[in-house]
Structure 1
């Protein structure tokens, strides 16, 4: 484009924003990771920017042009970020396959996004790639091509289209369309969180989801990222004690595993400055425990694939021992508008429950190739999240539950999370999951699967009585099952679908 005719009001694309952030601190470390040879390695900001530009050019050498589609199957490694940004820079349609997904889900996503190329981490996922009908190139092959490629003025460029696939555990995956507008809004919003100075953030969760979208705002704040292939408590503690990690992102099940680990009592975690948690409801009693163990370093965020990561935030300064505060997801982020509506589309008053709906540049464009589902999700000019929430007089928002998880028992609407929070106040309970099961008398019977703390005991009748005393008879579970663990999805969320199948 001629600079004489450029629009002076054009906003930078997502890739341009990231490249500008990387060029500000050329010698700063962007990624630390363990290479395939077992040696620890690091990429500077400058090296990361070069990798992005060279990868975009290399994708062109592979015959891809703006409007084509690529998919990536990889664990947490620098290429999981640089390939995504390179695809955005080159105007490609990009989708990431979940490392813990299934072959059937892979095929569904590859078919839906019409992928022209699948890039695969050949050190871990070669067997899954063999089942793909799409053309496959390994990251090792791509790396050699990138090393032999130099970006040029005629390299293809275009607008970004990130397809963020969701819903694979409950039905056919849906490709959430996030364009430059949404991705840039996400980066700027998340950069306003309480990132500590000189953040070195450990990523152990798949970069195909929330963790991958933490990198851009971190780069805007000058952060570095330590990458582990998966979550392991011993490696997590080692990273803090030996490798200077100061922050991490944890889903609730990971936080609980850390709190329950026998090594925690003797660990030196004085370098830990920030724990960002989210992706699923977190037990307030465990947050009280975490705050006492780690100090004032907890920060919660709430979002969903359709408006990722940055709808609300509960900053470290707002965390306290108040269950009402810890049970909330914080306050509305700048740049978005949130309202709660009843089933008839009327705004509810403070203290009442309603569906949480959102407006703002962060919101998706829609679902790829699914116009009817797009129309339903964006009806009335609002993103309908499917979450039931409550707003108090101070502006705190509490997610009560998913609309689809609401239990109708004896004619009453029961929100499982309220029962779970009550169960977890019992001193013997480590974790719980509550869901409805068909029942000829009640319509749905409140059913709870409970994991007890090591060395503690409690009977199902005792746990039922505990909920009855706290909440009343309507909320008391009709069935309580004791188990050693709760099944989780690939995203680390409790898998209630599997629990229902096991009941």
Structure 2
């Protein structure tokens, strides 16, 4: 059988058996360390334990787990055993769990019931606790009859636009992701802090990190104070953040006096970032920023803007970089034709990273992969140098008075006002315009600006078409479980 994703992980772990793979705090408050060698052994024993549970290649396994290394080792073991693997999001609800378990046809759920007691036994699914699985694995040495097969990772989308869809990532896509992410600017001796759920983008950063000999520090959640502590006291040198987390770190009053000299890489992505805030981060943190762009259907590694490319230029900082090796990117119009440089088009992708389709959803698969391209749903422009700028999601485009307004462009204009900390722009129904450009804005602490001030600021920078018809001031913006601004919730607010 051709070596797969789990074989790549095991190979990376066996190269450096004494190196630290994970550091984390257990439920009892004690700190734990796993070496590369221990992690490899846990993966192989867990795969063998799946056989003792009667799970064979092609069966479905789901995991509900908090931020600990087992979120990685159970996944790797499931891939090694050829199981159909699904990670439930730790910040989701029991109703969402049931929806995903039903859709994925999972035969068994592994659940950390010390953290998720209320969600530990969803209806109709056989369940085993993570502690029980650990005990079984400890008593199950690997053997020649252990289950083995090709991996299938069902990576469920967030479901903010409807019922979650299971993105099918086979070994081909998982391997392409690992190798592509390994080409990023990983610093030597990286000690990488993970504060986001490993069921999503952060979990796919571990394999490429292991290829570079990285170690991973796991926190139960993102807290700016704890991040600063980890950098100052615990030797953390790198981390992954979504833009809202980066802004919270920049706004933390401790940052200016903190010793951040040990931080040499901040990887960010998952949502558009404000160029003005990125310039602020560059001033405060130094040349450490690295952006990646992807989506569940082609995770993490479609484009990259590495630290050497981050310049104090709004055009560059507003972009998502250039295409990664191994993917082909095209900007296409509604008829599937390539658009000229500088013109907006849907960002479409093909290559080994791209999903095989949506689990049990042939019609949606056909639409997403029409013409042999993955249609990302993102509107973008590409300049003559190859820089790609995501303008917005197609579904978020505001059609007002017959003209298209991309919310990202309005948000970038608002961000240049000195009083603005964050903003979200979206369309709301309007009897005259069809849709009205609407904004919700959070001001910086101690700053003042009226809605009229901010509307005039956008009008002066962009023109009347882009000026919000309605602008609300708020203390904060609602976020999804992945830390993205929840525009659906904002649209539905009275």
1:105–1:168 contact (8 Å) kept in structure 2: no
Task: Say which of 203, 215, 218 aligns to 2:209.
Answer: 218
Task: Say which of 200, 210, 213 aligns to 2:191.
Answer: 200
Q: Please give the alpha-carbon distance, in whole angstroms, between the structure 2 residues aligned to 1:123 and 1:241.
A: 31
Find the counterpart in structure 2 of residue 271 from structure 1.
262
Find the counterpart in structure 2 of residue 434 from structure 1.
425
Structure 1 outlier segments of 4+, above 2 Å: 130-133
Task: Say which of 387, 391, 411 aligns to 1:400.
Answer: 391
Find the counterpart in structure 2 of residue 486 from structure 1.
477
1:54 aligns with 2:54: no
Question: CA offset at residue 121 of structure 1?
Answer: 1.3
Find the counterpart in structure 2 of residue 138 from structure 1.
129
Question: CA offset at residue 234 of structure 1?
Answer: 1.3
1:111 aligns with 2:99: no
Q: Please give the alpha-carbon distance, in whole angstroms, between the structure 2 residues aligned to 1:141 and 1:155.
A: 19
Give the alignment of 1:291-440 within 5 angstroms.
291-440=282-431
2:97–2:122 contact (8 Å) kept in structure 1: no
Deviations 1:261-294 (A, max 9, x none): 1111221111001000000001110000000000
Question: CA offset at residue 178 of structure 1?
Answer: 0.1
1:433–1:450 contact (8 Å) kept in structure 2: yes
Question: CA offset at residue 375 of structure 1?
Answer: 0.5
State the SS of the aligned residue for 1:303.
strand
State the SS of the aligned residue for 2:279.
helix
Question: CA offset at residue 319 of structure 1?
Answer: 0.4
Question: CA offset at residue 167 of structure 1?
Answer: 3.7
2:72–2:203 contact (8 Å) kept in structure 1: yes
TM-score (structure 1 length as normaliser): 0.97
State the SS of the aligned residue for 1:59.
helix
Question: CA offset at residue 169 of structure 1?
Answer: 2.0
Q: Please give the alpha-carbon distance, in whole angstroms, between the structure 2 residues aligned to 1:229 and 1:64.
A: 30
Give the alignment of 1:142-153 within 5 angstroms.
142-153=133-144
Deviations 1:289-323 (A, max 9, x none): 00000000000000000000000000000001100
Task: Say which of 472, 486, 499 aligns to 2:490.
Answer: 499
Q: Which moved more, 1:322-331 or 1:232-241?
A: 232-241
1:128 aligns with 2:123: no
Q: Please give the alpha-carbon distance, in whole angstroms, between the structure 1 residues aligned to 2:214 and 2:123.
A: 36
Structure 2 residue runs of 5 or longer lacking an equivalent are none
Q: Please give the alpha-carbon distance, in whole angstroms, between the structure 2 residues aligned to 1:122 and 1:216.
A: 26
State the SS of the aligned residue for 1:434.
strand
Deviations 1:145-182 (A, max 9, x none): 11111010111100000000004222111000000000
Q: Please give the alpha-carbon distance, in whole angstroms, between the structure 2 residues aligned to 1:103 and 1:37.
A: 25
Q: Please give the alpha-carbon distance, in whole angstroms, between the structure 1 residues aligned to 2:200 and 2:124.
A: 24
TM-score (structure 2 length as normaliser): 0.99
Q: Which moved more, 1:259-268 or 1:176-185?
A: 259-268
1:328–1:397 contact (8 Å) kept in structure 2: yes
